[in-house]
Amino acid sequence: MQFQIPKGTFDILPYGTDELWRLSHMWQKAESVLRKTAADYGYREIRTPIYERTELFVRGAGETSDIVSKEMFTFLDRGERSISLRPEGTAAVMRAYIENHLGNLGAVHKFFYIGPMFRYERPQSGRYRQHHQFGVEAIGVSAPEQDAEIIDLALQVYKRLHIKNLKVLLNTVGDAASRETFRATLLAYLKPRFAQLSAESQVRFEKNPLRILDSKSPQDREILKGAPSILDSLSGEARKHFEQLCRILDRFGVSYLVDDRIVRGLDYYNKTVFEVVSEDLGAQGTVGAGGRFDGLIASLGGADKPAVGFATGTERLLQVMVALQVPCERTDAPLLYFIPLGEAARMKCMELATLCRHAGVSSIVEMQAQKLQAGLANAVKADALCCAILGSDEMEQGCIQMKNMQSRETLSIPFDDLLPVMLKKMLR
């Protein structure tokens, strides 16, 4: 019996796939840019478990959110506790912040996380059951400058990965007072159209009408075209925050489009919400999204602290990079590829390679091919920078023949000089 990977998941491979976004060096490149960008903005890494008590996500994202109502991988553990694989990162980061009393260690905290998320979705291009997210969270600042910093960080990530043709769609969902007003206006608009709403939105009508704005059903989208705008229901405070944010972004030269239909899929957002959309991804065009969630920490049992965050999907990032043909070379290619010809030569190559490796000069020893041509072909496959060829003549002379795989130049080097020469090369 041959096993198959579970539906909606994929392997990330060092080679052997035409889907370039599944190549591991692409992931390494993206992840190193994500980490460096986070560090440049003062965000430090936090790692939380892959699973949490189900209740955390229910309280966090909210009962009527897509992820909680239909996408979670939930099971009872052997102690009969309801556990869920994390569908998103924010709730767990806030749980960790509260549980570890990080609030006692300063007024402002900035974190980033990177790792897999799990959602039971209908698999399709850009939509998987295990996907990966990079996210940032800033806790403690209610000023709109903080929202602007996060939006700029998000755009900087894409810029550094050479992703172009992006749009920032910006909106505000106001504060509790704004949403209360808007809820009434929206319900008044939807009530006479209730029968035409999708079954799902009919449920949301009772439980959380704002969520209807996030519906992907075509019939709902048609009805929503004439719906009132939340921008007309903003309280003075919420309006001021939004206007200030727009002003700061203008000053940064960040271009954005105000889109009053964006409410985001999770219940915890307030005030600022935004999405970053690519024109190069087709149906699954949203590469990243974020917003402010001032009430979340308190609702999870922590202090009343404001917070704002953003998350981007790694698969979609890489897929846009591939669509845009962003060059992405391997960073793990070996410097040296030893090709021994004969038994004695192999032993000597092992010895030299070990010396090189211990000094940080990456080396591979050909273990299979008996002939030079086959060895060279394998070196090409490995993307090696140099080949070090050792036949019986070289063994006698105590030298190794070096071949630069790009320039094709060859050079004979005494065994003892190999490591110093390679180290010098690396410093250059």
**Count of residues of this chain found to bind ligand ATP when the rule CB under 6 A is applied:** 19
CB 275 within 8 A of CB 263: no
Nearest approach in angstroms of CB 119 to ligand ATP is 5
Beta carbon nearer to ligand ATP, 43 or 338: 43
Which tokens sit at 122?
A: 């209908």
The smaller minimum CB distance to ligand ATP, of residues 311 and 365, is found at 311
Name which of residues 159 to 188 contact ligand ATP (CB under 6 A). none
By CB under 6 A, name the one of 119, 179, 305, 348 that touches ligand ATP.
119
Residue number of the CB closest to ligand ATP reads 313
CB of 266 to ligand ATP, least distance (A): 6
Q: How far apart are the first and last CA of the chain?
A: 52
For residue 42, is it left (φ>0), alpha (ψ between -120 and 50) or beta?
left
Residue 272 interacts with ligand ATP (CB under 6 A): yes or no: no
> Which of 131, 204, 211, 403 contacts ligand ATP by CB under 6 A?
131
Binding positions for ligand ATP, 35-94, rule CB under 6 A: 88
Among residues 19 and 237, whose Cβ is nearest to ligand ATP? Answer: 19
Q: How far is the CB of 275 from ligand ATP (least distance, A)?
A: 7
Q: Which residues contact 133 (CB under 8 A, 6 or more apart)?
A: 88, 89, 113, 114, 115, 117, 311, 312, 313, 314
Nearer to ligand ATP by Cβ, of 134 and 182: the residue is 134
Between 153 and 379, CB nearer to ligand ATP: 153
Dump the DSSP string for 245-277: HHHHHHHHT---EE-TT---SSTT-EEEEEEEE
Say how far apart CA 92 and CA 60 lie, in whole Å: 9
> By CB under 6 A, is residue 265 in contact with ligand ATP?
yes
Q: Per CB under 6 A, which region of 37-45, 249-257, 283-291, 364-372 contacts ligand ATP?
A: 283-291
The CA-atom distances, in angstroms, between 100 and each of 57, 94, 161, 304 are 18, 10, 34, 16
Nearest distance, CB of residue 313 and ligand ATP, angstroms: 3
Residue 213, judged by CB atoms within 10 A of its CB (0-12, 13-18, 19+), counts as: buried
Candidates 12, 74, 116, 121: give the one binding ligand ATP (CB under 6 A): 121
Q: Reduced to 3 DSSP states, what percent helix, strand and coil does the chain have, rounded to the nearest 5?
A: 45, 20, 35
Shortest CA distance to 338 belongs to which of 317, 361, 311?
Answer: 361
Sheet holding 44-45: strands in order across?
Answer: 44-45, 109-118, 130-139, 307-313, 286-292, 270-278, 166-172, 257-258
**Interacting residues with ligand ATP between 293 and 332 (CB under 6 A):** 311-313, 315-316
Tell me the longest C-alpha to C-alpha distance in the chain.
94
Q: Is 200 in the site for ligand ATP (CB under 6 A)?
A: no
Task: Taking the CA atoms of 26, 27, 30 and 32 in sequence, report the sign of the dihedral they define.
Answer: negative
In the complex, minimum distance from the CB of residue 257 to ligand ATP, in angstroms, rounded to a whole number:
17
Under the binding rule (CB under 6 A), the answer on residue 287 touching ligand ATP is yes
Q: Which of 111, 128, 158, 293 binds ligand ATP (CB under 6 A)?
A: 128
Closer residue to ligand ATP in complex, CB, 233/312: 312
Provide the binding-site residues for ligand ATP, judged by CB under 6 A.
88, 119, 121, 126-128, 131, 133, 265, 284, 286-289, 311-313, 315-316
